[in-house]
Amino acid sequence: MAPHGVLTLVHVDSESAPRRNISSKFLGQKHLSIEIPTDVNDCSAALPHSRGVARNDRWAFTEALRLGYFVDEFSRSTINKQSIGKYLLSYGS
């Protein structure tokens, strides 16, 4: 279970689009998260949408791993009738 108040590198907006959160607040956090829409392949404009998801997630994972984070867990939830996958990343070993 993800700790409360974890900052999110990429969040899924109300239209299932991934949005980057670029902030210096991420530095030094014990936990971070990365959200992905779980229905990316069901989107009516699947190809451009899935490319945006892949581009933002690749950026988030590359930055997090470079800074010393690792993937700790994955969970799914529904927020406002929208299915979202969430990776929890932890700092260190």
Q: What string of pLDDT tens digits covers the 93 residues of the chain?
A: 566 778 888 888 877 778 888 776 777 889 999 998 876 555 444 445 556 667 888 888 998 999 899 999 999 988 778 888 999 999 986
Please measure the distance between the N-terminal and C-terminal CA atoms of the chain and give it in whole angstroms: 18
Strand, helix or coil for residue 45: coil
CB proximity list for 20: less than 8 A, separation 6 or greater: 9, 10, 56, 59, 60
> Are 32 and 7 spatial neighbours (Cβ–Cβ below 8 Å)?
yes
Strand, helix or coil for residue 88: strand
